[in-house]
Amino acid sequence: MMESEKSMLKPVLMTGLIFGFVLFLVGILAGYYIISKEPTGRFFMVTFLTVGPTCLIALFISFFAVKSYVKENGPEMTLGKGAIIGLSAAAIAAAVSVVFMFIWPMIDSSYLENYYSALIAETEITTALPPEMREPMIDAYYEEMRSSNSITSFLSNLVSSVFMLSLLNAITGLIAAKIFGTRPVETL
């Protein structure tokens, strides 16, 4: 049993580290995109353009982790092992991404203020939301900006990101195991 757990380590770690950095990079680039553009009032388009690619990338973590496992160890795997591989790689990717996102404002000290200011400007002029919904959102952005570099915020982001990505990739890990793996032959 220990040998099979060891054989998962390299594909899970490598995939998690690579995807964690990619998710961070896409998130930061999306943030700079929001900062650099003039507010248009298309609040949901901005959200889709920034969140959409990140979610799409995150969806495939388990596929790459399971494919890497199969390449390294052969195709025999249970669906449960595919789920564990996907869940583990996603947890690592989420943790890496959140840690880099927490560190980034130490490198670019104006990033968070500029990012939240751009979100607030976009929200203020959007017609997609009624005025009574805009004010609470703007207040929430100000609160996020104020607390975004706190340990509490970091831990909250870490737990929620690990949970969401792990859950999603446990499911896609089952699918990846079905696609890339074969059911182990049972011996009597």
Q: What is the DSSP secondary-structure string of 66-96?
A: HHHHHHHH-SB--HHHHHHHHHHHHHHHHHH
- Kindly state whether residue 122 falls inside one of the protein's structural domains: yes
Which two three-digit tokens encode residue 133?
């919904």
Please give the pLDDT value at position 43.
65
Please give the pLDDT value at position 32.
92
- Identify whether the C-beta of residue 20 lies closer than 8 Å to the C-beta of residue 97: yes
Number of domains in the chain: 1
- Kindly state whether residue 47 falls inside one of the protein's structural domains: yes
- Kindly state whether residue 96 falls inside one of the protein's structural domains: yes
- Kindly state whether residue 130 falls inside one of the protein's structural domains: yes
- Kindly state whether residue 138 falls inside one of the protein's structural domains: yes
Please give the pLDDT value at position 102.
94
Please give the pLDDT value at position 20.
97
Which of 33, 16, 26 has the alpha carbon at shortest distance from 94? 16
Helices H / strands E in the chain, number of each: 7, 0
- Kindly state whether residue 52 falls inside one of the protein's structural domains: yes
- Kindly state whether residue 40 falls inside one of the protein's structural domains: yes
Please give the pLDDT value at position 175.
95
Full domain range(s) for residue 166: 35-180
Please give the pLDDT value at position 3.
45
pTM, two decimals, is: 0.86
With a cut of 70, list the residues of the chain below it in pLDDT.
1-6, 43-44, 46, 187-188
- Kindly state whether residue 16 falls inside one of the protein's structural domains: no
CA distance 90 to 145: 27
pLDDT tens-place string over residues 9-62: 999 999 999 999 999 999 999 889 888 988 887 766 767 777 788 888 888 999
